[in-house]
Amino acid sequence: MSFIVNQINLSIVTFALTSAIAISSTFLTTQAYAQQLNFTKKHSEGSVSLSFTWHDIQQQKQQLSFTETSESFFKPFRNFRAYNSPIAQKAILKKTVKAWRADPVDGVNLEISREQGHISLSLSSPDEEALNAGQVQLNQLAKEMREQYLAERFYHVFTRYDGELGIKPNHVEIARQSAPLLKALKPQILATVELRNIRLVTDYTLQFIQSIPYSPLVSRQTSAGAGFVPPLQLLYQNQGDCDSKVTLSAALLRSLMPRIEMIMVFIDGHALMGINAPAEPGDKTMTHEGITYVLGEPTGPAQYPLGEIALSSEQAIDAGLYSVEKFHYQEQASDINVQELAETDT
């Protein structure tokens, strides 16, 4: 018996979120474009101040500014790097061997072999029952070490709509941990959006994020080659791709409306989101596990209000070619009550 470390769920899936601009170019011609008017970044001792100015969908000038500690921008996700399958496999193997040696199965020997670039762990024992128990334990240890390795680096195993397994950034967990870091924006947004209404708050947030320049973030200078940056780093760099912007949108909306239920929706080459808000006639919605979500497109540069999405997104969703991750999280705070928002006239 042998346990082969090089499994399919230790490698990045080929549907990784890539060039949403190329996908979007066929449907942006009839849409208004988000326009960022100005972006400034100032460093002072131990802090960073950012300021954004843009035109909203009514061509009204909007502005947001905030200051956070330098640590807030970079420390929380300092372990996030581009996922490298060979490096990950070696690290997980090393952790698995260490865990086995700390608690081996009596009478079972563990051997490491290398062949054509693949590393495998082999068990041997004259006792078939002990050998079977050893295989079960080794498989479980490898699973636990893989999950630990990925969690430490903000990745997780992801199941695509067709059942294919792969590794991708843990967008939900990154959004969850980022939400408290964005609360400095809350008073400004709620002062600007005078009616504290789910749709108005969401539309303002979407238009702000749509105005941030799109970038696939493939260079090591901007994202360590991962094609994804966490929310505060996206704001710091003033650029991001589709799944980065979706994660920022979810984190910012969570900081504004802590009890709101959201989903992140992944289709081939793109990502969008849904929010559990009262639907209006014509809204594009999705029902997942009994809850109806109004869909939104944060990527830009097309300015889509909540309930309107790109044609390619709509076609993929209607065909069932999507995967969903829930972002249902509640925190104890003196925040806006979602029911109160829902009852406010739109």
More confident residue, 88 or 13: 88
Q: Are strands 118-124 and 2-4 parallel, antiparallel or unpaired?
A: antiparallel
Q: What is the mean predicted confidence (pLDDT) over 88-99?
A: 93
Burial, 242: exposed, middle or buried (Cβ in 10 Å; 0-12, 13-18, 19+)?
buried
Cα–Cα distance measured from residue 108 to residue 132, given in angstroms and rounded to the nearest whole number:
10
User: Does the pLDDT value for residue 83 go beyond 60?
Assistant: yes
Q: Are 296 and 269 in contact (CB under 8 A)?
A: no
Average pLDDT (226-244) is 93
Q: What percent of the chain has pLDDT over 70?
A: 83
Report H helices in the chain: 20-24, 70-74, 85-102, 128-152, 171-178, 186-192, 198-211, 220-223, 231-237, 242-256, 311-318, 338-342
Contact predicate 300/21, CB 8 Å: no
pLDDT tens digits, residue range 283-342?
999 999 999 999 999 999 999 999 999 999 999 999 999 999 999 965 544 444 444 444
What residues are paired with 94 via a beta bridge?
none
Contact 185, 209 (CB under 8 A): no
Is the pLDDT confidence value at 220 over 50? no
CA distance 251 to 327: 10
Residues in the chain: 346
Q: Does pLDDT of 200 surpass 80?
A: yes
The C-alpha atoms of residue 286 and residue 276 are separated, in whole angstroms, by 10
Are the beta carbons of 279 and 253 closer than 8 angstroms?
no
Question: 278, exposed or middle or buried, with CB in 10 Å at 0-12, 13-18, 19+?
Answer: middle
Pick from 158, 169, 182: nearest CA to 322? 158
| Average pLDDT value over all residues in the chain | 84
In this prediction, residues 256-269 reach a mean pLDDT of 94
pLDDT digits (tens, 9 = 90+) for 141-163: 999 999 999 999 999 999 999 99
Q: Please write the tens of the pLDDT for every residue from 5-55.
A: 323 222 222 223 222 222 233 333 346 888 899 999 999 999 999 999 999
pTM for the full model?
0.83
